[in-house]
Amino acid sequence: MFGPASACAPLVPSLWPRKLILRPHLHFRRYSLTTSQAIRFADLGLREEILRAIGDAGYETPTAIQARAIPEVLAGRDVVGIAQTGTGKTASFVLPMLHLLAAGRARARMPRSLILSPTRELATQTSENFDIYGKHLNLNMALLIGGVGMGEQEKALEKGVDVLIATPGRLLDWFDRGKILLGGVNIMVIDEADRMLDMGFIPDIEKIFKLTPMTRQTLFFSATMPPEIQRLTETFLSSPARIEVAKPASTAANVAQRLVATGSKDFEKRDVLRNLIRSAGHIQNGIIFCNRKRDVATLHKSLVKHGFNAAALHGDMDQ
């Protein structure tokens, strides 16, 4: 059974007063999110202990990404999964990983599998999935993220972990200190790869790839497939199964979505945003979501400078 995951407060970069949604194009073959009722988790070849945990959680039927990715992972193939949040993406790699790791033993400071997440919040959410679905298996898991005591993390690594979930910077810091070895990684997962790109983690990921065995199985999940991410998959994955799942539109009837063209410079985007707010007329309340905390600070400063009543909110601020 996995030990309890470390709790971390969520970071929610947000800014008043309006939300813009941009939808990038996808290029792989699309599948409907709906799966046939004839397909059940019991049909996918997972161990009985895992099926029991799935049943305990109240699930019987896999989502499209789960139904297509799980058999590929169980077969030992590399996988590129293109799926949005809310498609069941995390379980599509957690469940087959549990199955594959059920046989074998962990060694001190040498994790058997590695999951890289862009933020500590996503890493914590992934660990919760392992807690839920791995509760009937005798496997050890560790979180290597900021905000958690180093002593607790080091103790877990010395004991030996089957699953290590980490943010790239924290992992490399521990590797450089000689506290962890990556030569025993059999399965490696890159989760939210496009967010890794946005946050500047690609050089770290490339370095981590080179520290792991070439024989590892690699699972790559992303909501989009920009050229830089495509290059990574071509460099470090071997003949991967490519699975793309399009989430059905779920926009509420009273929500209007627009695609707005801007220049490539940040100041040009801010100028367009200010004009959008002004042209919308009287806005009592609104929220703008930003990718990074520094973007929140920059945009907030710009809006206040131009006379908008704006407030900033992100995880490094007293709330």
Q: Which residue, of 246, 281, 305, is where some domain finishes?
A: 246
Q: Which residue, of 246, 263, 293, is where some domain finishes?
A: 246
Distance of CA 176 to the CA centre of its chain: 24
Q: Residue 153 above 90 pLDDT?
A: no
Q: Residue 149 above 70 pLDDT?
A: yes
Task: Give the angle 84-85-90 at the CA atoms, nearest 5°.
Answer: 105
- What is the extent of the structural domain holding 194? 34-246
Model confidence at 249, pLDDT cuts 50, 70, 90, reads low
Q: Which residue, of 197, 213, 246, is where some domain finishes?
A: 246
Q: Are 42 and 106 found together in one domain?
A: yes
pLDDT score, position 18:
35
Could you check whether the bond before residue 13 is cis, i.e. omega within 30 degrees of 0? Answer: no
The model's pLDDT over 174-232, given as tens digits with 9 standing for 90+, comes to 999 999 999 999 999 999 999 999 999 999 999 999 999 999 999 999 999 999 999 99
- How many folded domains does the chain comprise? 2
Q: Are 104 and 221 found together in one domain?
A: yes
The model's pLDDT over 3-35, given as tens digits with 9 standing for 90+, comes to 433 333 333 333 333 333 333 333 344 444 444
Q: Are 65 and 181 found together in one domain?
A: yes
Percent of all residues in the chain with a pLDDT value above 90, rounded to a whole number: 65
Q: Are 316 and 216 found together in one domain?
A: no
| Residue 19 covered by a domain | yes
Q: Are 59 and 172 found together in one domain?
A: yes
Asked if 17 and 277 count as a contact pair (C-beta separation under 8 A), the reply is yes
User: Looking at 173-292, which runs of residues are DSSP E strands?
Assistant: 187-190, 217-222, 241-246, 288-289
Instruction: Record the tokens describing residue 170, joined without a space.
Output: 């924290």
pLDDT score, position 147:
79
CB atoms within 10 A of CB 271: 15
The model's pLDDT over 44-54, given as tens digits with 9 standing for 90+, comes to 999 999 999 99
pLDDT score, position 2:
57
Q: Are 283 and 194 found together in one domain?
A: no
Model confidence at 316, pLDDT cuts 50, 70, 90, reads low
Q: Are 284 and 184 found together in one domain?
A: no
| Residue 270 covered by a domain | yes
Sequence-ordered list of residues with C-beta below 8 angstroms from that of 314, at least 6 positions apart, any chain: 11, 12, 13, 14, 293, 296, 297
pLDDT score, position 204:
97
Q: Are 126 and 259 found together in one domain?
A: no
Taking the model in full, what pTM does it have? Answer: 0.70
Instruction: Record the tokens describing residue 207, joined without a space.
Output: 């370095």
pLDDT score, position 292:
80
Q: Are 162 and 207 found together in one domain?
A: yes
User: What is the residue-averaged pLDDT of the chain?
Assistant: 85
**Distance between CA atoms of residues 318 and 316, nearest Å:** 7
